[in-house]
Homo-oligomer: A and B are copies of this chain.
Amino acid sequence: MTVNYATPSPSQLQPVAGVRLGVAEAGIRKANRRDLTLIELAAGSRVAGVFTQNRFCAAPVQVCQQHLVGHDIRALLINTGIANAGTGEPGLAAARATCSAVAALMNLADRQVLPFSTGVIMEALPLKRIVAGLPACQAALRSDGQGWFDAAHAIMTTDTVAKAASQRVVIGGKNVNVTGIAKGAGMIKPNMATMLGFVATDAAVSQALLGRMVQQTAEASFNCISVDGDTSTNDSFILIATGAAGNSEIADELSDDYEALRDAVTTVAATLAQAIVRDGEGATKFIEIVVQGGADSAECKAVGYAIAHSPLVKTAFFASDPNLGRILAAIGNAAQAHASLQDLDVRTVRLWLGDTLVSEYGGRAASYHETDGVKAMSPAEIRIRVDLGRGEAQAKVWTCDLSYDYVKINADYRS
């Protein structure tokens, strides 16, 4: 599934019963900018998350992981401007202090609050200004689509468009809403780093299955995207289930209800993830890479990422140059990142660009003509398909091209 993306209007964003959102200008790094977002969850809500694997993970990520152990989360606080990463022990203390301030304001325990930060690395969190901004956030709390719309804007850093999406689905005879927001991915927005994604549903789901669902849906959405191969210190994806829809709690992973909800959450998360790639720094093209015929999905994904991470492949797409040897070389390199591919027999590999068979038997396909390659590389939406010819598994990766503007944005970023 690939979708074109435009930010929905507030009325297109379904409210999620049990979730209220409020934003404020706290002056964290720039004036006249909504940079603080509070999300309030009704009692009984369940929360699960997946986080960056980066060893230099940010202080708020560490605090989130600790607080999620206790469950019973009732509030999320998100600041932009400062990432609170690479800040050592003082950074951890600051992240905990923001939780305490929210807890005091909302009559919660500290461990019921999850903190999130995105922005510049290695600079201290302006704790006083954040605490001072909290009452305005609380006063602004609202449950309608406008609340989600405002939050989608307030968590942006160098994103050029706000990212939000909604789905409706019937589960156990009840109407269920799924709504989510996200901001710029991985190291797409390097120093103002971070992919943040928040998806909420009013369905009732057991805590154990919500934990499964956040991993499965991340694997099919945010874990499919790459802009430049870097993983930020702050990446977080949070899935919330308030249970307010009144369906009987989903507790069986093999049930139709679980599948229906997981599919709706996946659609929202994949839409957000693709919106992030489409908004990648300097991106002029959206590229879907489908890798099939692998021994398992992990090796398919490794091949997809090897293609997506290759600067040579990405610059060729920017130039609409069917320099297909670069894709073959990237496939051949995947073995260095993924041991199971060390016995990959390139004679079984086939490569398509759009519908055009480009390579088979380790060389150029007899039917391939370069004019077809040029035609296939010109659109703004491109599909690469690789068949490894050694199994039944598949995976997909979404990425963008590498343009002059990527260098410009990243070389000039802090100025």
- For the complex, is A220 an interface residue (Cβ under 8 Å from B)? no
Residues of the B chain whose Cβ atoms lie less than 8 Å from the Cβ of A413: 321, 323
Using A318-B407, A406-B311 as known contacts, say yes or no to A122 and B55 having CB atoms under 8 A apart.
no
- For the complex, is A363 an interface residue (Cβ under 8 Å from B)? yes
- Per assembly, the copies of the chain total 2
Shortest C-beta distance, A294 to chain B (Å), equals 13
Minimum CB distance partner of A190 in chain B: B312
- For the complex, is A212 an interface residue (Cβ under 8 Å from B)? no
- For the complex, is A329 an interface residue (Cβ under 8 Å from B)? yes
Shortest C-beta distance, A315 to chain B (Å), equals 4
- For the complex, is A347 an interface residue (Cβ under 8 Å from B)? yes
> Contact partner of A88 among B56, B229, B362, B408, CB < 8 A?
B362
- For the complex, is A193 an interface residue (Cβ under 8 Å from B)? yes
| Cα(A191)–Cα(B324), bound, Å | 9
Using A122-B324, A407-B318 as known contacts, say yes or no to A55 and B233 having CB atoms under 8 A apart.
no
Using A55-B346, A311-B230, A407-B318 as known contacts, say yes or no to A329 and B90 having CB atoms under 8 A apart.
no
Interface string of A399-412 (1 = CB under 8 A from B): 00011101110111
Shortest C-beta distance, A374 to chain B (Å), equals 11
Question: Do residues A56 and B328 form an inter-chain contact, with CB atoms below 8 A?
Answer: yes
Residues of the B chain whose Cβ atoms lie less than 8 Å from the Cβ of A191: 312, 323, 325-326
- For the complex, is A359 an interface residue (Cβ under 8 Å from B)? yes
- For the complex, is A54 an interface residue (Cβ under 8 Å from B)? yes
| Cα(A22)–Cα(B122), bound, Å | 56
Using A88-B347, A410-B316 as known contacts, say yes or no to A83 and B120 having CB atoms under 8 A apart.
no
Question: Do residues B411 and A407 form an inter-chain contact, with CB atoms below 8 A?
Answer: no
- For the complex, is A335 an interface residue (Cβ under 8 Å from B)? yes
Minimum CB distance partner of A318 in chain B: B411
Question: Do residues B56 and A331 form an inter-chain contact, with CB atoms below 8 A?
Answer: yes
Residues of the B chain whose Cβ atoms lie less than 8 Å from the Cβ of A408: 404
Question: Do residues A363 and B91 form an inter-chain contact, with CB atoms below 8 A?
Answer: yes
- For the complex, is A36 an interface residue (Cβ under 8 Å from B)? no
Shortest C-beta distance, A387 to chain B (Å), equals 15
- For the complex, is A337 an interface residue (Cβ under 8 Å from B)? yes
Question: Do residues A121 and B87 form an inter-chain contact, with CB atoms below 8 A?
Answer: no
Question: Do residues A325 and B407 form an inter-chain contact, with CB atoms below 8 A?
Answer: no
Question: Do residues B325 and A233 form an inter-chain contact, with CB atoms below 8 A?
Answer: yes
User: Among the interface residues A83, A229, A363, which one has the most CB atoms of the partner chain B within 10 A?
Assistant: A363
Q: Which A206-239 residues have a C-beta within 8 angstroms of B?
A: 228-233
Using A228-B312, A311-B311 as known contacts, say yes or no to A86 and B407 having CB atoms under 8 A apart.
no
Question: Do residues A346 and B56 form an inter-chain contact, with CB atoms below 8 A?
Answer: yes
| Cα(A329)–Cα(B310), bound, Å | 19
Residues of the B chain whose Cβ atoms lie less than 8 Å from the Cβ of A333: 53-55, 230-231
- For the complex, is A364 an interface residue (Cβ under 8 Å from B)? yes
Shortest C-beta distance, A93 to chain B (Å), equals 12
Minimum CB distance partner of A347 in chain B: B88
Question: Do residues B362 and A325 form an inter-chain contact, with CB atoms below 8 A?
Answer: no
| Cα(A412)–Cα(B315), bound, Å | 9
- For the complex, is A63 an interface residue (Cβ under 8 Å from B)? no
Shortest C-beta distance, A195 to chain B (Å), equals 13
Shortest C-beta distance, A248 to chain B (Å), equals 40
Minimum CB distance partner of A363 in chain B: B88
7 tightest A-B CB contacts, nearest first? A121-B325, A88-B363, A56-B332, A319-B411, A315-B410, A54-B332, A88-B362
In addition to A122-B328, A187-B326, 7 A-B residue pairs with Cβ atoms within 8 Å of each other are A55-B342, A122-B359, A230-B311, A230-B333, A232-B329, A323-B414, A404-B408
Could you give 17 example pairs across A and B, Cβ below 8 Å?
Answer: A55-B332, A55-B333, A55-B341, A86-B324, A86-B325, A88-B363, A122-B359, A187-B326, A187-B329, A191-B323, A193-B329, A230-B330, A311-B311, A315-B410, A319-B411, A403-B411, A404-B404
